[in-house]
Amino acid sequence: MSIDPAQPILMFDSGVGGLSVLAKMRLLLPQAPVIYVADNAGLPYGQKTEAQIAARVSGLLGRMTERLHPRLVCIACNTASTIALASVREVLEVPIVGTVPAIKPAAAMTKTGVIGLLGTEATIRQGYVDRLESEFAADKRLLRHGAPELVTAAEARLRGRDVDPAVFARAAQALRSMPDGDRIDTVVLACTHFPLIERDLAQAFGPDVRFIDGSDGIARRIAHLTQGQEFLRKEPDLALFTRADPDLPELSPALAAAGLTRIAVF
């Protein structure tokens, strides 16, 4: 397939969490034109059913690839990837890169053998996560906690709002209170929103805990799949939302810092 140098990489998330992935991709592919899609009309995904998420993500990405003609789609959302990645790949004819919890590298990092995993409620219950645990962390203890409050906190933080530190303390305490939770030394951030508030989580967990997410691996995968392709940015990169929320202007500084200087509604 012939690639137009101006064809964008489409990065998709339920909100602004995927900006953590975009930042890592920019380091490897600074010239790549990007359209960042935030399905704010569907946020939060973590409290929807699997059927709702699969239908919504497949439908949206189908319409958007027809309209926007991306060279590659990155689903920068753990919840959407663990549920809808296979169905999206059946529907779309462009390369698809998904996001999965970084359990494999966490298992290599931990010294105590006890790993915490923070994700949405939908992500932590997926069989996909069970399989990752069985394959890469069978000899470890993986403690999971669904933390929808953290998604809200990350969305608020990028809008420049204050966030109550108790939100982060509750997430840390939820994992610490589980059997062997006091031995957690590694925490998987299994939602792309969570690296945006990693500093706050680090304060809540204390200095003996390290955090890991999948953004570096995603960026490398995108770079690999686009290796040898030319990039030409004809216009500023675009942030595309699925609903015209009144607070979208509050995101302008964070979006501009991510190189997304245009905002539109799909």
* Catalytic annotation, residues: 77, 191
Going by C-beta distance under 8 Å and a sequence separation of 6 or more, which residues neighbour residue 247?
159
Going by C-beta distance under 8 Å and a sequence separation of 6 or more, which residues neighbour residue 59?
none
Going by C-beta distance under 8 Å and a sequence separation of 6 or more, which residues neighbour residue 217?
102, 105
| Residue 244 CB coordination number (10 Å) | 12
The two structure tokens encoding residue 165: 């530190």
Calpha distance 87→60 (Å, rounded): 12
In eight-state DSSP terms, residue 71 is S
DSSP string of 141-179, one letter each residue: EEEEEE-HHHHHHHHHHHTT----THHHHHHHHHHHTST
- CA 24, 25, 31, 34 dihedral sign is negative
Q: Which amino acid is at 54?
A: A
**Quick check: 215 and 24 in contact, CB under 8 A?**
yes
**Quick check: 7 and 60 in contact, CB under 8 A?**
no
The two structure tokens encoding residue 62: 């189908």
In eight-state DSSP terms, residue 56 is H
